[in-house]
A and B are shown apart, each in its own frame.
Chain A
Amino acid sequence: GAVVSQHPSRVICKSGTSVKIECRSLDFQATTMFWYRQFPKQSLMLMATSNEGSKATYEQGVEKDKFLINHASLTLSTLTVTSAHPEDSSFYICSASQRETYNEQFFGPGTRLTVL
């Protein structure tokens, strides 16, 4: 149980385009979802926290107009990278937690974004 999926697993796009990444909790209701970014050989950096039905809370230094997060249902959160540039190329990972086991976060497999 407690499986989180991400789609797509890998995406390549041209500079200036927007890319949407989906994060789904497959067998539980995720009251809170988190989005992380990871550059090569670095640790995970938290970008934002989203609760179902409310606006996301962004970490300092993360542009909310560039990284649009929507958590419209208890099983789906989306991250849209708007007007992507090569410096946005990274590994994006989501995690989710549920009310019943509040002391656990379940991570997705990640999405590799390459902006040309």
Chain B
Amino acid sequence: LAKTTQPISMDSYEGQEVNITCSHNNIATNDYITWYQQFPSQGPRFIIQGYKTKVTNEVASLFIPADRKSSTLSLPRVSLSDTAVYYCLVGLSGGYQKVTFGTGTKLQVIP
């Protein structure tokens, strides 16, 4: 299983763009990169998933360089409600494939 490394915590002011980078040096060829958001006492919520280059949806963008050894989650114009823990997961090339959660990044949005 590919191991991921993320910053433990980040602070940002409301309205700013936040970029959280995840390192996954031993990512396998078939692995997807998936980001989840978790609020206290709730299950993780899917944010975005990608395999290579750039993916954008209504809440975030995901940038993946050509070597795929890292990825960056970009949250545009964060608000206080974006305060949460963000996890980067690598794997899921098959639904029955287990994944390992890293430490996650605790994002604190400041008014």
Contacts and interface: CB of A to CB of B under 8 A. Distances in A.
Interface of A: 4, 6, 31-32, 34, 36, 43-46, 49, 51, 91, 93, 95, 97-99, 101-110, 112
A106 B46 contact: yes
B101 A43 contact: yes
State the main secondary structure of chain A at its contact with B: strand
A104 B96 contact: no
Interface string B92-110: 1111101111111000000
Contacts of B101: 36, 43-46
State the main secondary structure of chain B at its contact with A: loop
Size bin of chain B's contact surface: 20 to 34
B44 interface: yes
Interface of B: 32, 34, 36, 41-46, 49, 87, 92-96, 98-104
A97 B94 CA distance: 9
Tell which of A34, A45, A91, A102 has the most Cβ of chain B within 10 Å. Answer: A102
A43 B102 contact: yes
